[in-house]
């Protein structure tokens, strides 16, 4: 499918109904956000399929990825992890518990404050996240392959502009 020849979709059908009933409305934004919502649903399902193929839930991957991105020694305070993922402390504890039970992370005493705990990637966790991040980036790249490189750059610029204006 060429990007120059868009096909009609359910959003077009909805917009046509609104145009018939309310020809006074500008439906451009409604169509854009309708497609973005549908796109996010489709993309989320495809992304999560990669994680489940490796025995992970998306939230578990996010924890492993945050630890991996932090650099050696691949450990962080649980509250830093929770803040990074905008997750409650209790929600983070549940994720850490599951990952620890699977042998992918371990809790260790903080070297600076022995009363505090840090979460560290195990070697198995590091190997898994390194494997999954490759599959994840390949999957996302494949999803955008329908766009030419110029359109991918434009989509990134446009989505960045919208987020910088409206995201907290």
Helix (H) or strand (E) holding 135: helix 123-144
Q: Which of 5-9, 68-72, 81-85, 89-93 has the lowest mean pLDDT?
A: 5-9
Please provide the average confidence, as pLDDT, over all residues in the chain: 92
Q: At what angle do helices 123-144 and 28-53 cross, to 10 degrees?
A: 140
150: tokens are: 């110029």
> Which option is the CATH number for 56-167: 3.90.800.10, 3.40.50.2300, 1.10.10.10, 1.10.472.10?
1.10.10.10
pLDDT beyond 70 at 76:
yes
Confidence (pLDDT) at 1: 43
What's the whole-model pTM score?
0.84
Return d(Cα 76, Cα 95) in angstroms, integer.
14
pLDDT beyond 50 at 97:
yes
Domain map of the chain by residue range?
Answer: 8-54, 56-167
Confidence (pLDDT) at 110: 80
pLDDT beyond 50 at 2:
no
């Amino acid at each position: 499918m060429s990007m120059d020849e868009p096909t009609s979709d359910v959003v077009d059908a909805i917009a046509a109904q609104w145009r018939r009933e309310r020809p006074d409305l500008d439906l451009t934004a409604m169509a854009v956000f309708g497609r973005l919502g549908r796109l996010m649903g489709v993309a989320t399902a495809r992304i999560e399929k990669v994680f489940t193929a490796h025995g992970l839930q998306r939230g578990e991957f996010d924890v492993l990825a945050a630890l991996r991105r932090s650099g050696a020694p691949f450990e962080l305070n649980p509250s830093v992890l929770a803040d990074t993922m905008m997750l409650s402390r209790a929600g983070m504890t549940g994720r850490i518990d599951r990952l620890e039970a699977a042998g992918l992370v371990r809790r260790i005493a903080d070297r600076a404050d022995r009363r505090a705990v840090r979460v560290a990637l195990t070697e198995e966790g590091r190997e898994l996240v390194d494997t999954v991040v490759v599959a994840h980036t390949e999957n996302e790249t494949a999803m955008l392959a329908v766009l030419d490189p110029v359109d991918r750059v434009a989509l990134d610029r446009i989505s960045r502009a919208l987020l910088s204006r409206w995201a907290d």
